[in-house]
A and B are shown apart, each in its own frame.
Chain A
């Protein structure tokens, strides 16, 4: 049996820390603009509204780590969101279970199409996105409320924080398992991973299934924050999740980075919205700040430490038999 030793999961590079510096800076800016910001209740609230993007960015991060990409993120979230709202009448338990199963199934379909049929992910998930968006529109043509009150309190109080802590712990565990290392190996060089006996199909399907599960959770938290269903509810999440994952230091070509970074990236995007709101500037400026930050963060990491990083990436994963 081949044993893999990768540095991907827990090596710390200076450029990986950038996102946390930006995160802390944004927290300080927010506190200066609005002293109440730092109060726990407000922080929980900010986290709660960011939960859909946090889950979606984690899902996107998993897929980018294996050097793939998911352009169907937003449509999957929309479809699960409308499924929950239409099924809630048949019992909350059934609705939530079916929603999660639907998310996993959609992830598996994307995994099968890109792995077994070998279609390029960028275009295959684009086509899938059209299918899922059409289904969402079919299930629920117009926005509708009607989720029970308890559903809307799922993310109340300190719960978002505990969910976040749970996610980070689960990731720390998963990235150290055999499957986690296989995932990094595929992302760094799929051919080399195949030659070394990494089960490509199984690992890729696992990653896509986890990503689908995370998207279902994103949809559930979106349903909880909005209290209803909308066939277009997730649309913005596709591009935002890619931005968050890449801002968070996940290498666009796969094989390096951490989901914790993607989560930080998602929180950064949420905090930018806050800053723009507090400064009293028109909400339109949000897009400008977010676009410029994306370009700036990436070009900075390229200009500072990338040559070394690329070199290191070429050595990774180191394998020993």
Chain B
């Protein structure tokens, strides 16, 4: 927890000064988000004694890992002031095409690299539209996402067949602390954190998100930052899809859509501004945990899918009201 607070104060300089800084630190979104995780976990523990047992904790983290991997790329895109709606299409593409092309033959593993390469290309197309053609990120990624979703249907002729290679299945379905999903999330998280908070690329991303115009006038070459951002997002979405292919064992055309809105929600309830320029990847991890633990609690309470959706929507709204409000017009 201490590490969280120090990084948070580094990102928002004004927090470290002034008499009220202690209070403002306590109100920092990242700190609040981790507080919410602990609170929710405590509620879960009260409702069900097994909730905090290590088995259940690992199951929850494994389920959250896929969302966490998608949300990592989404965080960087949102910090630039954009949004990536094509993650749904890319995730579906990777999740359906991995079993379809590999067809259960472990010898065909290079196809996984091909899929990641195609994702890289998709990211580059998004970046081209956003920075060269100057199409709104939301519209550009919406259009690209529609094309990819359709392309998956055309390539597979509408029926998902085949199976993932054995090594993928064994890595991804392993349970416990060293599960493939969890390890993947940890690696992606470290890379994302370093990229966003400890590299010149990350500083470009923040500068561009705060004000694209100022960044350009200051001599930043925003094109490379945008290219890296959208490519990274597409690759993380594809990684999540490949991992899911191993986890579920067969392709599912609708799977990407179920991760699209939670990935945006996790980023925003983690305290990253949807307007861009402000944010912290550590918050996104908390956001993913909040959504995952909340879902687990609702399942423990035996609430049907309809009730879970309502509760999750309301919970996100309440968290947003706590700290994601825009400034008054008067200011």
Question: Residues of A at under 8 Å CB distance from B?
Answer: 69, 113, 117-120, 122-124, 126-138, 141, 190-191, 194, 200, 239, 242-243, 246, 252, 282, 284-288, 290-292, 294-295, 298-299, 302-303, 306
Contact = CB atoms under 8 A, between A and B. Distances in A.
Q: Which of B136, B143, B149 has the most CB of A within 10 A?
A: B143
B154 A252 contact: no
A282 B317 contact: no
Given A113-B317, A287-B149, A135 B142 contact: no
B264 interface: yes
A45 B157 CA distance: 30
Given A120-B274, A122-B83, A130 B306 contact: no
A251 B320 CA distance: 27
Contacts of A191: 329
B146 A291 contact: yes
B151 A288 contact: yes
8 contacts: A119-B320, A120-B275, A123-B265, A127-B314, A130-B316, A194-B330, A242-B138, A306-B134
A127 B306 contact: no
Interface in B149-187: 149-151, 153-154, 157-158
A141 B309 CA distance: 13
Contacts of B83: 122
Interface residues of B, number: 51
A153 B167 CA distance: 57
A128 B317 contact: yes
Contacts of B326: 118-120
A135 B310 contact: yes
Contacts of A136: 306
A141 B329 contact: no
B190 interface: no
A123 B42 CA distance: 27
A284 B136 CA distance: 25
Contacts of B313: 127-132, 134
B138 A130 contact: no
Given A122-B83, A190-B329, A295-B135, A287 B142 contact: no
Given A130-B310, A130-B312, A134-B306, A299 B133 contact: yes
Interface in B293-328: 304-314, 316-317, 320-321, 324-328
A136 B305 CA distance: 11
B311 to A, nearest CB: 8
Contacts of B145: 291
B244 to A, nearest CB: 21
B274 A122 contact: yes
Contact of B324 (A69, A120, A138, A190): A120
A180 B134 CA distance: 29
A292 B320 contact: no
Contacts, number: 153
Contacts of A291: 142-147, 150
B35 interface: no
A287 B146 contact: yes
Given A130-B310, A138-B307, A295-B143, A119 B321 contact: yes
Contacts of B305: 134, 137
A190 B308 CA distance: 36
A74 B328 CA distance: 30
Q: Top 3 closest A-B pairs, CB basis?
A: A287-B150, A134-B309, A130-B313
Contacts of B311: 134
B140 interface: yes
B40 interface: no
Contacts of A137: 305-306, 309
A44 to B, nearest CB: 28
A170 to B, nearest CB: 27
Contacts of A113: 317
Nearest to B316: A127
A252 to B, nearest CB: 5
Contact of A285 (B154, B264, B309, B329): B154
B225 interface: no
A123 B324 contact: yes
A303 B132 CA distance: 10
A97 to B, nearest CB: 25
A182 to B, nearest CB: 14
Contact of A134 (B140, B261, B307): B307
A282 B268 CA distance: 38
Given A130-B316, A288-B150, A295-B129, A200 B329 contact: yes
B139 interface: yes
B140 A295 contact: yes
Nearest to A235: B257
A117 B85 CA distance: 26
Contacts of A302: 133-135
Contacts of A128: 313, 317
